[in-house]
Amino acid sequence: MGKSGGARRVDPADRAQLAESPVRFRRVLALFRPHWLRMVLVVVVIIEASLVALGQPLLIRTLVDRALPNGNRTLLLLCVFGLVSVAATNGILGIVQAWLTTSAGQAVMSDLRTRVFDHVQNQSMDFFTRTRGGEIQSRLTNDIGGLQAIVTNTATSIVTSLTTVTATLVAMLALSPRLTILSAIVLPPAVLMTRRVAVLRKDITAARQKTLANLTGQINESLSVNGALLTKTLGIAESRSSSFASDSRELANLEVRFRMAGRGRMATMDFAFAAIPALVYLAAGFPEFMGEISLGTLIAFTTLQANVFKPLMSLLNLGADWVAALALLSRIFGYLDLPVEVEEPHDPQPLENVRGRVCFEKVTFRYTGSESNVLDGVSLTIPAGHTVAIVGKTGSGKSTIGHLLARLADPTSGRITIDGVDIRQVRSKDLSRTVGIVNQSPYLTHSSIRENLLMGNPRATEEELWKALSTAQISDLVRSLPEGLETVVGSHGLRLSGGEKQRIAIARTILSTPQLLILDEATSALDTQTEHQLQSALDALTRGRTTLVIAHRLSTIKDADTVCVLSNGRIIEQGTFTELVEAGGAFAQLADEEARATDEAPLAQEDTP
C-alpha cells in the first residue's frame, strides 16, 4: 500500500488556459471513439478485478471463523485454494488491464500526435516564422506526453477507484454496519492528513522541475556547438560555471527536501494504517456498543478497510488531474484548430507534360494582420525555358515572389499559373515535383550524404546519385571522403562548408528533376571564389529549365533573359542586364552601389561595348 499517487493542487495556469480556450467534453470523447471496444474491455476487466479482490477478506473470515476452529480440513483446503486462486486471477487480470489500458492510451495518443503533426505540417511558412522556436516541439512531445500519462493512468484510475470503493463499502456494510459507520468517521481525517503531506511534496516537485529545466537549458546553451563557441569567444566560461553550480546546489537541496517530504508522507500513511485498525480493534472490545464480532469478521473488515484507502486518495486527486488533462488538450486542440492558409484543392488539376510557362497575374500579397502589402499588383510572364532574375533592395519583396510560386503561401489577390493552370488547383506533392528550390541556406538533415540525396528522389540508382553529384561539381570531394556517400553530414550539415552544402543541395534538386527552378539568393552567403566554383553547377542545373532567380549579387545574373527590378512590392524596371545598365535607372544605381562595395570596376563599364 506504499503509494497513494500523491495529492495534487489545480495549477492556476491550467485554469487560465481553460478559461481562455474551453474544451468540450464531446470533443474529448471523440478521441476515444475509434477505440471504444478496447475501452469497454478495460472497464469490464477493472470491474472483474475489483469483485474478485473482495473474495480474499471473505475467504479469510471463513477460514478463521469456521475452518481452523472446527478442524475442517476440507474447508481449509478450499479456502486456501480460493485465496491462491484470487491472487492468481488478480495477477492475470492486472496484466490484461495494463495491456489494454496502455495499448488503448498509446493508440489514442498516437492518433492525436499524428493529427497535430500533419496539421502543423500543412501550415504556411508564415506560421513557422512567427511561431516561437521550440513551441511546436513542446506541443508534440511535452503536452501530448503529459496527456498520455493522464489518459493512461487517470482514466482507468477513475473506474478502478470508483469500483473498488463502492464494492468495498458494500462488503464492509455486509460484514458490520456499525464498524463501517465508525470507519466513515475516522477514514476521512486520516486521508486528508496524508493529503496535506503529499501537497507539500507536490510543491517541492514543482520547484525541482523548474530548477532542473534551468539546468537543462544551461547545458543546451553552453555545451552545444554554437554555445561552446560563444563561451570561448566571449570568455564567459567562469560566469556560466558559477551559474550552473548555483542551480546544481539548489537542485541538490530540493532533492533532499523532496526525499524527506516523502519520508514524512510515508510515516503519516503508516500512522493512518496503524491507527485505523487499532480503533476498530478497540471498538470490537465493546460488544455492548458494536455487537458481537467474530475474529474472522474483524480480520476481514480491517483488510477491506485498508484496501479502501488508496482509491479514496486517487479520487481526491481526480479534480486536479482532470483540469490538467483538459488544459493540455486545450493547448493541443489550439494547434488542431489553426486554419490552414494553404489548402489542398478540392478538385485538383493535373500538371502533365509541363513546358514551364509561368504567369503572375496582378498578384498582391500581405501577411495576416498586416495593413501593408509586400507585393502590390505584380504581373510577370516567364516563357518556358527562360531565366528571369528578380532584383531589388532588402524588403522589396523579392523572396516573396519565389515563395508564392512554390506555394509556400497564397496571394491575397490575383493568381499564379503554370502552363495556364492556377497553382492553387494543383496538389502540393505534384507542385513540389514540378518546382525545385535552391535556397541561400540549404537544409541538410543529420544523416548520410546518400540519405540527403535520396530525399530528392527515393528511387534514384547509385549511378544517378553520382551523376547528380558530378553535375553539381562535388563528386570528387564525396569520393575522397573515407565513407563516401555514407558520410554523416552532421546537424544542419555542420561538417560541410557553405559551398559544399550548397552543392549537395543542388545535387538533391537535380535528382528531383523539376521543370521549374527557383534560385533564392543561392550564392549570397558564399565568398566570391566559392561562388564562382558553384556557378557552373547552377548553370548545369538551370539548363533547359524555366528559372526564377532571386538575386543578391548582380554579377550572377548577367546571362538572365530578363531582369526585373522590384521596389516596394512593384516591378519598376524590366529588361536585359545590359539594357537596364544603359538606361541609368534604379538597376544601374544598384549596380554602381555593388561595384563600390566590392571595390571593383563599375559593372556598367564591364558590359559597355
| pLDDT for 425 beyond 90 | yes
Cα dihedral 183, 187, 190, 193, rounded to 10, equals: -150
* Residues 367, 337 share a domain: no
CA-derived radius of gyration, the chain: 36
Q: Which domain covers residue 20, as residue numbers?
A: 11-176+318-341
Whether 144 and 230 map to the same domain: the answer is no
Q: Is 443 helix (H, G, I), strand (E, B) or coil?
A: coil
Sorting pLDDT into bands at 50, 70 and 90, what band is 360?
Answer: very high
Report how far residue 378's alpha carbon sits from residue 389's, in angstroms, rounded to the nearest whole number.
Answer: 14
Q: When comparing pLDDT for 44 and 5, which is higher?
A: 44
Query: Is 601 inside any structural domain?
Result: no
Q: Is residue 431 part of a domain?
A: yes
Q: What is the pLDDT at residue 361?
A: 93
Whether residues 169 and 186 share a domain: the answer is no
**pLDDT value at 310 more than 80:** no
pLDDT band at 296 (very low <50, low <70, confident <90, very high): confident
255 lies in the same domain as 362 = no
Q: Is residue 312 part of a domain?
A: no
Q: Tell me what pLDDT residue 17 has.
A: 60
Cα distance between residue 148 and residue 154, in whole Å: 10
268 lies in a domain? yes
> pTM higher than 0.85, yes or no?
no
**pLDDT tens figures, 54-77:** 788 888 888 888 888 888 889 889
Residue 77 burial (CB count, 10 A): 11
Query: Is 70 exceeded by the pLDDT of residue 121?
Result: yes
For 450-493, the pLDDT digits (tens) are 998 998 888 899 999 998 888 888 888 889 988 889 988 876 66
Could you tell me if residue 596 is inside a domain? Answer: no
Taking the C-alpha atoms of residue 269 and residue 246, their distance in angstroms, rounded to an integer, is 35
Tell me the three state secondary structure of residue 349: coil
- Mean pLDDT of all residues belonging to the chain: 78
Number of domain units in the chain: 3
Residue 600 in domain: no
Whether 405 maps to a domain, the answer reads yes
- CATH number for the domain including 117? 1.20.1560.10
Give the pLDDT score at 574: 92
Q: Shortest CA distance to 392 belongs to which of 535, 580, 258?
A: 580
pLDDT at 359 over 90: yes
Q: What is the CATH number of the domain that holds 518?
A: 3.40.50.300
What single letter denotes the amino acid at residue 574? Q
For residue 589, tell me if it sits in a domain: no
Distance CA 65, CA 69 (A): 6
Confidence of residue 554 (pLDDT cuts 50, 70, 90): confident
Looking at the structure, tell me whether residues 371 and 322 fall in a common domain: no
Tell me, yes or no, whether 58 and 123 share the same domain.
yes
245 plus 110 within the same structural domain: no
Residue spans of alpha helices (H) in 122-154: 125-130, 135-137, 144-149
Predicted confidence at residue 137, as pLDDT, reads 73
Which is higher by pLDDT, 523 or 519?
519
Q: Are residues 153 and 284 in the same domain?
A: no
Least confident stretch, 195-204, 223-232, 348-357, 476-485: 195-204
Q: Name the 3-class secondary structure at 20.
A: helix
Predicted local confidence at residue 607, as pLDDT: 40
pLDDT digits (tens, 9 = 90+) for 142-182: 777 777 666 666 667 777 777 888 888 888 887 878 777 77
Per-residue pLDDT at 524 exceeds 60: no
Check: CB of residue 168 under 8 Å from CB of residue 308.
yes
How far apart are the C-alpha atoms of 489 and 477, rounded to whole Å?
Answer: 13
389 and 283 co-located in one domain = no
What H or E segment, with its residue span, contains residue 375?
strand 375-382
Q: 205 and 71, same structural domain?
A: no
User: What is the pLDDT averaged over residues 196-211?
Assistant: 61
Residues 472, 445, single domain; the answer is yes
Question: Which 8-state DSSP code applies to residue 553?
Answer: S
191 — pLDDT class (breaks 50, 70, 90): low
Judged by average pLDDT, the poorest of 83-87, 320-324, 404-408 is 320-324
Q: Cell for 145? A: 506526453
Which residue type does 221 have? Answer: E
The pLDDT of residue 384 is above 60 = yes
Q: Supply angle C-alpha 12, 16, 18, rounded to 5.
A: 115
Q: Are residues 470 and 554 in the same domain?
A: yes
